Amino acid sequence: MMAHPEHLDGIRRELTEVLGECPEEGYRLPYDRLRDVPYTLACITEALRLHPSVPKNAKRCVKDTLLVPSEPNPTNLPPIQIYKGEMTGWSDWVMARLPEVWGADCEEYRPSRFLDPATEDEEGRMGTKQYSQWQQHMFNGGPRMCLGMNLANFEALSIVAAIVPLFDIHWARADQGQTASWPPKYLPSITLPSEPYQVEFRRRTR
């Protein structure tokens, strides 16, 4: 989101429309307003799509299993036989960058892909667009769906609501102590930690 400041102004407008003028200490987003800020949520979800917290995973098969691709199946993948004891893995980081999954603009940061034009009201506001949990897989799916998904989204929304209206956010310069290069380098792990980097927060004039 820091790399796309044009979306930060949209977040600020939405928060003001929904919660009123921003107080000096920033917004304190109530949990029951989680679905009332779809544009802000779309910005966070799009960031998670491209940079999932758990970018890869693997499981060991406990019994012979035939994986049958669900419809639609644009690449015409055949069923895959996996035998007991074999390992199978996947990468949400890679899936986010597959045109057959997310379209030709899959590598672009485009929050509008998570807004549903069919829900647009007279003021131009749109609701959140839902995809299959196997496509929008940042929190896993099925019986392994992350139990903390709603809490994680609320925490992210709360932080954005508290900080973005009050500060302009920039990648820090070398003379401000920046030692990393853009984009940040990820470290290999089951989660997706980044190398340390510096960010400049500049208080916005009211």
Domains present along the chain, CATH in parentheses: 6-203 (1.10.630.10)
pTM: 0.88
72-88 per-position pLDDT tens digit: 776 778 999 999 999 99
The predicted pLDDT at position 124 comes to 84
Question: How open is the CA angle 159-161-164, to the nearest 5 degrees?
Answer: 90
The predicted pLDDT at position 206 comes to 66
Rounded CA separation 183/188 (Å): 16
Mean pLDDT (whole number) for 6-20 = 94
What percent of the chain is predicted at pLDDT more than 90? Answer: 65
